[in-house]
Amino acid sequence: MASLFVAALAFTLATTSTAAPALTERNCINLQLSVPVTANTTNLDVPRVDNNVDAVDLVWNIERWTAPNTTARITGTNLIQQTFSINAQLCVPNNSTKNVLQIATHGFGFEKRYWDSELHPELYSYVEASLAAGYSILTYDRLGVGRSDKPDAYDIVQGSVQVEIIKELTLMARAGSLTTSSSIQNTAIPKFDKIVLVGHSLGSALTLGVLTKYGNLVEGAVSTGFIIEGVTGLVSDDAFGLEYAASNDPQRFSDRGSGYMVQATQSNAQQIFFKKGHFEQEMLEYAVSIKETGTVGDFVSLGLVLGQPALEFTGPLLFALGEYDYAICNGNCTGFYDLPALKSSLFPNATDLTAHVQPGSGHALTMHTNATGQFQAIFKYLESNGL
């Protein structure tokens, strides 16, 4: 999402599609990780969402805020000290000379399969492309999504908690404790020497939040479908077509309580994530088949993890955008950003700050027909920076 994400803020390269790599021999393991979290969350003065009428009212309420930022809505704080169950997939390539792990955080509307499409994976799976390029990759369902825990949608599933989860996953990877197994099939799981955080949309905002607070923990980062440029040009909240999840699909989202929302229709998903002429109809249908929820807490707290300089981050940072990203650039990302200003204000110690705009792509970068071009641009950038 865009505006809901930054409502709390008072805030190219031209590469065409390349040939799809051959499918790798999968070397993956599914993990249900126990992740301890200590975080401060905020009590926010926002309406509860217990039905579709409430979902519409929440959007109206946020759109009509007169306060310039979220701080005017904070009524108190909470100290969260809990251990959450997080579902993840770790994939390690065969015979790779790289000892680099990517930790990938998906955005709103999806779960970890955003990175690992079951539909034509040779074209759309970032996981497959990463393995073929020699990278290990950890994908996971964010808190409140998929097969991870789904706690209180207001006071617990917030940006600060999601940031701590990424931090803890990074520490577990560093320590070699992602799994007690010694191998995936015949491949040893290493203690990774270098870690790159990769995000998409909301997941990118959380990734940048980690750089702000724990920038010395990682060697590099990639922010796809998100760049901090302020609210100008971002679509309004009502463009997302939000409904109360349990009303939208009572069977599928029976485990989601108050404050969990989802996009209502296929058309809503297309409007935000896809650009006509650059996607397959079956991919749009697949995206809807795996659609996932977001929480009120996620949406309105995210600005609290952004906006401060990432002083300890000294690695390279790539902003990988789609040419026609409607959610972030109002449909035109070319020239949307001011990298020198962004570097001096928020990433002053980054070794490199680069933006890549992928031609013919919308917001869901992994789901457009030229996704492999975006993947290769990311890998080329990482390799050029020693990752």
Q: Residue 136 in 3-state DSSP?
A: strand
pLDDT reading at 203 higher than 70: yes
- Span 291-298, mean pLDDT? 94
Do 46 and 4 touch, CB atoms closer than 8 A? no
Which carries the bigger pLDDT value, residue 30 or residue 381?
381
pTM summary value: 0.91
- Tokens describing residue 380: 């080329």
What does the angle CA 127 – CA 131 – CA 136 come to, to the nearest 5 degrees?
85
pLDDT at 33: 92
Which carries the bigger pLDDT value, residue 359 or residue 179?
359
Q: Residue 29 in 3-state DSSP?
A: strand
CATH number of 3-384: 3.40.50.1820
pLDDT at 21: 47
Main-chain phi, psi angles of 126, to 5 degrees: -65, -30
pLDDT digits (tens, 9 = 90+) for 138-178: 999 999 999 999 999 999 999 999 999 999 999 999 988 88
Of residues 201, 193, 207, the one with CA closest to residue 224: 201
| Confidence bin at 7 (pLDDT 50/70/90) | very low
pLDDT at 306: 85
Q: How far apart are CA 129 and CA 132, in angstroms?
A: 5
Q: How far apart are CA 360 and CA 14, in angstroms?
A: 10
How many other C-beta atoms are found inside a 10 Å radius of the C-beta of residue 351? 14
pLDDT digits (tens, 9 = 90+) for 180-201: 654 565 566 777 889 999 999 9
Beta bridge partners of 17: none
pLDDT at 130: 96
CB neighbour list of residue 352: distance below 8 Å, 6 or more residues apart: 316, 317, 385
pLDDT at 303: 79
CB neighbour list of residue 288: distance below 8 Å, 6 or more residues apart: 266, 269
pLDDT at 17: 38
pLDDT reading at 8 higher than 50: no
Q: Checking DSSP bridges between strand 220-224 and strand 316-322, what pairing results, if any?
A: parallel
- Span 209-218, mean pLDDT? 96
| Confidence bin at 304 (pLDDT 50/70/90) | confident
Q: How far apart are CA 248 and CA 262, in angstroms?
A: 8
| Confidence bin at 50 (pLDDT 50/70/90) | very high
Q: How far apart are CA 106 and CA 199, in angstroms?
A: 6
